[in-house]
Amino acid sequence: MNKNIDVVALLSELVACPSVNPAERKTFRAPYGEGALADLLAARLRSWGAQVELREVVPGRPNVIACFEGKDTSRSLMLEAHSDTVQASDMTIPPFAPTVRDGRLYGRGACDTKGPMAAMLQGLRQVLDADGQPPVTVYFVSTCDEEQGARGARALIQKDFRPDWAVVGEPTDLAICHAHKGTLRWAIETQGVAVHSSAPTRGVNAIYHMTRVIDMIEREIAPSLRSRQHALLGEATISVGVIRGGTQSNVVPAACMIEIDRRLLPGESAEAITAAMRGQLDALKAKTPTFAYTLQALQHYEPLEVPTDSAACRLAAEACGRVLPAAKFVTAPWSSNAGVFAALGVPCVLFGPGSIQQAHTKDEYIDLRELEQAVDVYAAIIRQCASARDWPQPLQKRA
């Protein structure tokens, strides 16, 4: 069979199975949730001879763990790609009717991250067909909820499941991503006292209080972060992305809420940064007796930094060198499951076809030439494990 036709057909099947992250929805149905895609993957992987387990992280949203026992069972590699996608409601193309045009496949998730997933699966299939068995135990894993907090990744790495190292599938333009920023998100709410707007001084305006918070972020916190520089990743950043407040114009608002995105550098502690933010809000409260607030942590993705001379990077680079003109290392300003896995002690790199510039877009697509090349790279990564003299060692787990 033609492997290129196979990987395009497989990607089409994955895109046609909607798996939009339901976010905070307690109940949901298609296109939301990862359950249908998990079932599709489990059936396919069992037919290939894998031992497959579905571990539910939250109701209706499982992780998929497929094990292909290796010739050397003392060593293991995890190939991981998340199963959820972002929303599809604003797309300008049919999101779940994959279309091939001008050397590209269009559809939600084609790039992020069902393209890398399909290439991983087809690379694994290539090894199974040619060699019968991988040289080391290979786990193919698909995690839920990467787009809204990485609960699937955190639930995955347990005492009974801890692979030696991992390649995480994300659109990296066929480069090895060895470092990326982390992300910390909060919701801050200021509280006031609602009264009729004809007598505003009788109440407390929560929106006015929030303007003090936003002004502090823009004029004090954001400029102070410019001095926090990382040699590979640049500066730490902070941004207010959402604001909601009030009910109607003739009522002094009793509440106002913002959501904040803080990008972390390797070495920064989410706990310390949250404590600092709380201290700055307490300082505002000390200046204004009526100021009241709550601070809620929403999401946290750890940063990633793996030295290019580490065993994980060398293995990936040697495999890339067998397929591509040269191995290329890159860094990223975004976050992924790889940071979560590394924080839990598993050495990781990211690799995959497609460009992050196409992720989450209204006409998401992936270049089929990159998709086809990625199949061979993933197969080479698996085979490279057979001759690896320097094997990845567990990382120290972060507190």
- 397 or 295, which is more confident? 295
Give the mean model confidence (pLDDT) for residues 343-369.
98
Whether residues 67 and 37 fall in one domain = yes
% of the chain at pLDDT higher than 70: 98
| Global confidence as pTM | 0.95
Instruction: Quickly state the pLDDT bin for 159 (edges 50, 70, 90).
Output: confident
Give the mean model confidence (pLDDT) for residues 9-14.
98
Report the chain's mean pLDDT, rounded to a whole number: 97
Whether residues 197 and 157 fall in one domain = no
Whether the pLDDT of residue 4 is over 70: the answer is no
Q: What angle do CA 14, 149, 280 make, to 5 degrees?
A: 155
Among 268, 301, 334, where does a domain finish? 301
**pLDDT confidence of residue 397:** 81
Whether residues 119 and 266 fall in one domain = no
Whether residues 267 and 342 fall in one domain = no
Among 263, 286, 301, where does a domain finish? 301
The letter for the amino acid at 285 is K
Whether residues 200 and 137 fall in one domain = no
CA distance 272 to 283: 17
Whether the pLDDT of residue 2 is over 90: the answer is no
Whether residues 143 and 204 fall in one domain = no
Here the tokens at position 379 are 């197969």
**Cross-strand partners of 243:** 258
Instruction: Let me know: does 226 contact 246? Beta carbons within 8 Å.
Output: no
Whether residues 95 and 155 fall in one domain = yes
Residue 395 lies in a domain: no
Whether the pLDDT of residue 358 is over 90: the answer is yes
Residue 398 lies in a domain: no
Whether the pLDDT of residue 213 is over 70: the answer is yes
Domain tally, the chain? 2
Whether residues 163 and 257 fall in one domain = no
Instruction: Quickly state the pLDDT bin for 5 (edges 50, 70, 90).
Output: low
CATH of the domain at 277: 3.30.70.360
Residue 146 lies in a domain: yes
- pLDDT tens digits, 64-73: 999 999 999 9
Residue 392 lies in a domain: no
CA distance 375 to 115: 10
How many residues can be counted in the chain?
A: 399
**pLDDT confidence of residue 122:** 98
Instruction: Let me know: does 294 contact 256? Beta carbons within 8 Å.
Output: no
Whether residues 165 and 90 fall in one domain = yes
**pLDDT confidence of residue 396:** 87
The letter for the amino acid at 147 is E
Whether the pLDDT of residue 303 is over 90: the answer is yes
**pLDDT confidence of residue 297:** 96
**pLDDT confidence of residue 25:** 94
Whether the pLDDT of residue 3 is over 70: the answer is no
Residue 83 lies in a domain: yes
Residue 163 lies in a domain: yes
Residue 260 lies in a domain: yes
CATH of the domain at 95: 3.40.630.10
**Segments forming the whole domain that contains residue 26:** 3-179+303-387
Whether residues 343 and 270 fall in one domain = no
Give the mean model confidence (pLDDT) for residues 287-292.
96
Whether residues 79 and 18 fall in one domain = yes
Instruction: Quickly state the pLDDT bin for 322 (edges 50, 70, 90).
Output: very high
% of the chain at pLDDT higher than 90: 96
Whether the pLDDT of residue 1 is over 90: the answer is no
Residue 152 lies in a domain: yes
Whether residues 297 and 308 fall in one domain = no
Among 301, 316, 347, where does a domain finish? 301
Torsion of CA 153, 267, 330, 8, to 10 degrees: 10
State residue 87 phi and psi, 5-degree precision: -60, 155
Give the mean model confidence (pLDDT) for residues 34-56.
98
Angle between helices 3-15 and 35-47 (to 10 degrees): 150
**Cross-strand partners of 331:** 179
